[in-house]
């Protein structure tokens, strides 16, 4: 966590102010999601600069014109959400595992964005989260779910995506946006503060009409396949093959 320490040290005078602003966004009722997201995105950019992390976004033109869609990225670690927030102007909320929702900064971001924590050991609570995501997406909010359930711990290699993670998308009949994260594990996992670049690739959305009638495990395989294909193509391009 050397990079986190570097971020805190370099933003030492501003960090309390930034945390207070995000906390304040979460205290206001009803939450102004657009304003909260702008504040959070500003703080993420400042933190990334302090931590010598560069975010390169690709495919932003692929995002649906209308809100009410869901992001499904691969999962590499705690940094993933911050990378996507930095790269994307479109406000969104996300589902995060209960344990991670207690991490400082992520906790405040969860509250300010109206995001939801899920207890994977509690089936009833998990179903309530699925229903709530469905309701909000139908009302025009964008949501993000890490369908692998837990980070891969294999660098740029993925775990299987869980079919149940796509239930909200099916129920909401919304567009699915696969997102490929490349090197998002490096900022927090590597014991270094050398400059690092994280790539966020937004793939073409999968409209409901395309996956209508498919079983959730089939949708999971479809999304995983497109993300892996994108990551492979990116690797080959970088290697010049």
Whether 60 has a pLDDT exceeding 90, the answer reads yes
Put simply, whether the predicted model's pTM sits higher than 0.85 gets the answer yes
The answer to whether the beta carbons of residues 183 and 196 sit under 8 Å apart is yes
**Widest distance between CA atoms in the chain:** 54
Structure token pair of residue 231: 């990551």
Q: Cα–Cα distance between 178 and 227 in angstroms, integer? A: 6
Cis peptide before 22 (omega within 30 of 0): no
Instruction: Cite the DSSP H helix spans in the chain.
Output: 2-10, 15-27, 33-50, 80-87, 106-113, 123-138, 167-172, 186-189, 208-211, 216-239
| 3-state helix/strand/coil string of 157-171 | CCCCCCHHHHHHHHH
**pLDDT one-digit tens code per residue, 86-132:** 999 999 999 988 877 777 778 889 999 999 999 878 889 999 999 99
Report residue 240's pLDDT band, with 50, 70 and 90 as the boundaries: low
Distances (CA, A) of 104 to 20, 31, 94, 107, 144: 12, 20, 16, 5, 20
> Once rounded to an integer, what is the mean pLDDT over residues 151-179?
93
Q: Cα–Cα distance between 227 and 211 in angstroms, integer? A: 16
Whether 28 has a pLDDT exceeding 90, the answer reads no
Grouping H, G, I as helix, E, B as strand and the rest as coil, residue 187 is: helix
If one counts every other C-beta atom within 10 angstroms of the C-beta of residue 194, the result is 8
Whether 1 has a pLDDT exceeding 70, the answer reads no
Distances (CA, A) of 222 to 80, 143, 156: 21, 19, 18
**pLDDT one-digit tens code per residue, 176-206:** 999 999 999 999 888 888 999 999 999 999 9
Instruction: Return the closest-CA partner of residue 237 out of 94, 229, 28, 85.
Output: 229
Q: Cα–Cα distance between 196 and 77 in angstroms, integer? A: 15
């Amino acid at each position: 966590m050397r990079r986190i320490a570097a971020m805190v040290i370099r933003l030492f005078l501003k960090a309390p102010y930034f945390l207070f602003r995000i906390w304040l966004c979460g205290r206001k009722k009803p939450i102004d999601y657009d304003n909260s997201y702008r504040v959070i995105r500003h703080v993420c950019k400042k933190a990334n600069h302090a931590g010598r992390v560069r975010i390169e976004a690709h495919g932003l033109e692929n995002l649906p014109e209308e809100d009410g869609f869901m992001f499904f990225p691969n999962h590499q670690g705690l940094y993933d959400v911050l990378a996507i927030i930095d790269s994307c102007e479109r406000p969104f909320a996300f589902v995060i595992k209960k344990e991670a929702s207690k991490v400082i900064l992520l906790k405040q971001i969860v509250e300010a964005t109206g995001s939801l924590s899920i207890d994977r050991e509690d089936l009833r609570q998990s179903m309530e989260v699925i229903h709530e995501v469905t309701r909000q997406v139908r009302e025009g909010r964008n949501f993000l779910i890490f369908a692998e359930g837990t980070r891969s711990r294999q660098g740029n290699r993925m775990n299987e995506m869980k079919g149940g993670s796509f239930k909200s998308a099916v129920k909401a009949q919304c567009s699915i946006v696969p997102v490929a994260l490349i090197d998002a594990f490096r900022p927090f996992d590597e014991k270094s503060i050398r400059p690092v670049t994280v790539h966020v690739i937004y793939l073409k959305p999968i409209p409901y009409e395309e996956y209508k009638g498919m079983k959730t495990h089939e949708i999971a395989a479809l999304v995983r396949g497109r993300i892996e294909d994108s990551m492979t193509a990116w690797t080959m391009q970088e290697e010049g093959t």
